Amino acid sequence: MINKKLSAIYKDLPFSTRMYVPIRQMLLDFERMVEQVPENVNKIQELGCGYGLASFLMAQSRPNTTIESYDIAKNRIDLLGKINPYKNLKFYAKNVIDINTFDADVIIMTDLLHHLTYIEQRMLLNHIRKTAKDDVFIIVKDMDRGKHSFRQAVNYTIDIVHAKGLTFFYHTQDSFQKLFEECGFRITKQSHLNRSYIPLNHIVFCLERM
């Protein structure tokens, strides 16, 4: 459940961050999510990398792949740059909406979309479609608003505490599919990543161009 090698990367960061990392691993199975990334790809771009858990896991398991990870929080990116032990991984402080070109083989978004407005979600996906490779493989991990009001309430509470905000832009599975298709992508695979003891609705989609 807790990847000790991953947690050890954060050992010199403030106590609150060191506590956040194992809790985040308990809430989301990052290793199962990263397993969706194809092997032997040249470049991965992660959008909204947060504290870099997926980034570090990918850099560790794919040492010959170049990984670019973006997040809007400059202070967080500065910290990650200081502790990053992997030469194939670089962190950038940038709003994902402002990225000019998406030139990676794989693009991964971890709990990013529901922090963007519905208009920004479409802007980002449309820009990816216009600038990315024809055979780009996209992984979107987000929260399924679904029919489980209790699960959604728990997720909303966690988002409020973590993001220190009150407004989020969630989707159901059906509205995710509608969004992706209207932006030119089809779902090739989808699955929930819920841990049995955590009442959340994690969902991951694998996408390709239509």
Confidence of residue 147 (pLDDT cuts 50, 70, 90): low
Q: Per the confidence metrics, is the pTM higher than 0.85? A: yes
Confidence of residue 10 (pLDDT cuts 50, 70, 90): very high
CATH code at 33? 3.40.50.150
pLDDT given for residue 28 in this prediction: 81
Structural domains counted in the chain: 1
* Region of poorest pLDDT, from 71-85, 121-135, 151-165: 151-165
What is the percent of the chain where pLDDT is above 70? 91
**72: pLDDT strictly greater than 90:** yes
Q: In terms of residue numbers, what domain contains 77?
A: 4-209
Q: Mean pLDDT across the stretch 174-201?
A: 87
pLDDT given for residue 62 in this prediction: 93
**150: pLDDT strictly greater than 90:** no
**90: pLDDT strictly greater than 80:** yes
Q: DSSP letter string over 115-163?
A: GS-HHHHHHHHHHHHHHS-TT-EEEEEEEB--S-HHHHHHHHHHHHHHH
pLDDT given for residue 2 in this prediction: 76
Q: What share of the chain is helix, strand, coil (3-state, %, to 5)?
A: 40, 20, 35
pLDDT given for residue 196 in this prediction: 67
